[in-house]
Amino acid sequence: MLNKILLACSLFPMSLLTIIFVTFNSREVIQNGLANFAGDHNFKIIVVDNNSNDGTAALVRDLFQEVEVVEQKQNIGYGRAANVALRKTNTPYALLLNADIITTPSDIDKLLHHAVNDVSNTAIWAPTTDSREYSEVPSVQVNWVSGSAMLFDVEKISRIGLFDENIFLFAEETDLCERTIKAGYSIRLCRNVYFRHLSGQSCPPSVKTEYLRWWHFGWSQCYRIVKNGHVTFYRNPYTKYLGYLIHSFTATSRTKRMKWKAKSDGAKAYIRGEKAFRPDGSPQCS
């Protein structure tokens, strides 16, 4: 049976894998991310666009006709957008990638072979995105992998419950990894597979987007430690808020002070009982 699966993986990978990209104003990087797959029909590809205003969705449609583009009416966040594509997936495996991940079909095939050959109770595999961690060691069991590149067993991850849709940004992969382990499944880091991550380039930086990002970092950290039972006397939403607030006054640059202020505002909003999303579904940023 395993040999038949491996043969199918080599000859008909589309029947096994869907590749998912989540984009938001990612025009500059998504073209590079998809270029290696242009004209290659070995994988089904879905791009979920979070209401970009830079023409990301149109560019993908124009240049990559084989890619399915799902446009959202507003920015619904990374986890929610990934869930949109995961629910549409009809292949056994799904590979979620940041828009600023650069890889090749051969490296993806190598990662997929890890999954197909895995006889353990693994639900998530991931490549290393840090060249310093690259190793000939095939894979190791870990408690966490980066959300920038995650390969899912779709059936298992659906049982676990996909990404928590209360989270707009940050900690969504950490929460999912924790729930994966609690559900009795394992996570493996495939250190002999390297995907290049152009970290922080998924969308162009601006004061507004950076504040939004770090606001949700502060909110999500508080949400996760409460939800997953990690609250201690020294580690709780109030100490998080206080630590962020102190840094917002003591940081050595204006940019760093803004970052810590945004985190403290997000933590304060969580303490007040505010959710990550407004009633209309748009991201909160009070």
Last residue of a domain, one of 197, 223, 254: 197
Left, alpha or beta for 184 (phi > 0: left; psi -120 to 50: alpha)?
left
* Structural Rg of the chain based on CA atoms: 19
pTM: 0.91
Q: Which amino acid is at 31?
A: Q
Give the Cα separation of 33 and 149 in Å (integer).
Answer: 12
Is residue 89 in some structural domain? yes
Residue among 226, 230, 228, 218 at smallest CA distance from 269 = 218
Residue 39, phi then psi, degrees to nearest 5 = 75, 0
- Among candidate residues 28, 49, 24, the one with its CA nearest the CA of residue 213: 24
Which contacts of 259-262 are long-range, i.e. CB under 8 A and separated by 24 or more positions? Answer: 259/210, 259/214, 260/214, 262/210, 262/211, 262/212, 262/213, 262/214, 262/215, 262/217, 262/218
Specify if 28 maps to a domain. Answer: yes
Q: State the pLDDT at residue 205.
A: 62
- Pick the last residue of a domain from 197, 221, 254: 197
Domain boundaries, position 176: 2-197
Contact 110, 136 (CB under 8 A): no
Instruction: Tell me how crowded residue 205 is: count the other CB atoms within 10 A of its CB.
Output: 10
Distance between CA atoms of 126 and 144, rounded to whole angstroms?
10
Residue 11: pLDDT band by 50, 70, 90 thresholds?
very low
Is the residue at 277 inside a domain?
no
Is 235 in the same domain as 101? no
In a domain, 219, yes or no: yes
Question: What CATH code is carried by the domain that includes residue 63?
Answer: 3.90.550.10
Percentage, residues of the chain above pLDDT 70: 91
Give pLDDT tens digits for 142-151.
Answer: 999 999 999 9
Query: Does residue 279 belong to any structural domain of this protein?
Result: no
Same domain, 123 and 235: no
Q: How many CB atoms lie within 10 A of CB 117?
A: 13
Is the separation of the CB atoms in 9 and 112 below 8 Å? yes
Q: Are residues 45 and 163 in the same domain?
A: yes
Residue-wise pLDDT tens digits, 172-217: 999 999 999 999 999 999 999 999 988 655 555 678 889 999 999 9
Looking at the fold, whether 127 and 242 belong to one and the same domain comes out as no
Residues 102 and 216 in one domain: no
In a domain? residue 276: no
Residue 203's pLDDT is what? 57
The answer to the question of residue 284 being in a domain is no
Same domain, 189 and 247: no
Examine the fold and report which residue of 139, 171, 197 is the final residue of a domain before the chain moves on. Answer: 197
- Total number of domains constituting the chain: 2
138: confidence class by pLDDT, cuts 50, 70, 90: confident
